[in-house]
């Protein structure tokens, strides 16, 4: 493994305030890429400044936001999101959203980083006991004919896509069958409804409402590095 001081190493941070950050780090270390990737855990502004890209893990979005604020990381993270590749999984997806529903129980609402032109619902799939797994057909992954096992744990649900005319276009990477949508979503849902989206990309930013880091399948990590990160990195 290279070090962050190697000129050729691409430093990818994992926000390590709360949640499944260690699993993301392990997945990045497993990637068999020609370009050297060096994952680091980010807890300070100094850590963040070393990074070419960032992963915000699953966990509890309001807790992550509060700890980021207490660590003086909230505003630096918002600035980072404006210019660097960022991937949010589950709670991280919530933090990257433009607006969030179901935050009335949280005093003061939900601090967000922005970056994705979407509205999302916290815990849209229900409680912990309603967590589930589903096979996803994903175009763009290596061996795309092989389904990806999506693990959904108190996962958020994408409600609307709302890009402005000058925003990057939104690319849907993976959807879930409407028959698997949460019981609390009312009315008929079509295959192309935003609520079926479980992975999307907009410009430099990537979102998954499930937890790829909890599987031994590293293809989503490979996708993020190859498609979002490396094209933005200048070869020394």
Annotated catalytic, 111?
A: no
The CATH architecture of the domain made up of 10-232 is: 3-Layer(aba) Sandwich (3.40)
Q: What ranges do the domains of the chain cover?
A: 10-232
- For the entire predicted model, the pTM comes to 0.90
* pLDDT value, residue 229: 96
The 10s digit of each residue's pLDDT in 24-46 is 999 999 998 888 899 999 999 99
Is residue 109 annotated as involved in ligand binding?
no
* pLDDT bracket for residue 227 (50, 70, 90): very high
Is-catalytic flag, 90? yes
Tokens of 77: 């993270």
Is 122 labelled as part of a ligand binding site? yes
Q: Is 30 annotated as a binding residue?
A: no
- The verdict on whether 213 is a catalytic residue reads yes
Confirm if 173 and 138 have CB atoms less than 8 A apart.
yes
Written as six digits, the tokens of 114 are 């922005």
In tens, the pLDDT along 159-217 reads: 999 998 899 999 999 998 877 766 555 556 677 888 899 999 999 999 999 999 999 99
List beta partners, residue 117: none
Instruction: Check 90, 111, 222, 228 and give the catalytic one.
Output: 90
């Amino acid at each position: 493994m290279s070090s962050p001081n190697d000129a050729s190493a691409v430093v990818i941070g994992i926000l390590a305030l709360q949640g499944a950050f260690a699993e993301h780090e392990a997945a990045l270390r497993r990637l068999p890429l020609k370009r050297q990737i060096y994952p680091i855990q980010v807890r300070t502004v100094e850590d963040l400044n070393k990074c070419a890209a960032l992963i915000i893990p699953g966990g509890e979005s309001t807790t992550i936001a509060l700890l980021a604020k207490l660590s003086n990381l909230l505003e630096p993270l918002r600035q980072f999101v404006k210019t660097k590749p960022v991937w949010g999984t589950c709670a991280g997806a919530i933090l990257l959203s433009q607006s969030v529903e179901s935050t009335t129980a949280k005093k003061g609402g939900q601090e967000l980083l922005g970056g994705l032109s979407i509205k999302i619902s916290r815990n849209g799939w229900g409680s912990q006991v309603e967590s589930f797994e589903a096979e996803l057909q994903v175009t763009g992954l290596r061996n795309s004919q092989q389904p990806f096992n999506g693990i959904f744990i108190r996962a958020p649900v994408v409600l609307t896509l709302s890009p402005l005319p000058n925003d990057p276009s939104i690319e849907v990477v993976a959807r879930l069958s409407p028959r698997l949508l949460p019981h609390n979503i009312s009315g008929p849902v079509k295959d192309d409804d935003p609520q079926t989206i479980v992975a999307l990309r907009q410009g430099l930013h990537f979102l998954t409402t499930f937890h790829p880091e909890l599987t031994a399948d590293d293809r989503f990590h490979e996708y993020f590095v190859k498609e979002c990160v490396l094209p933005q990195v200048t070869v020394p």
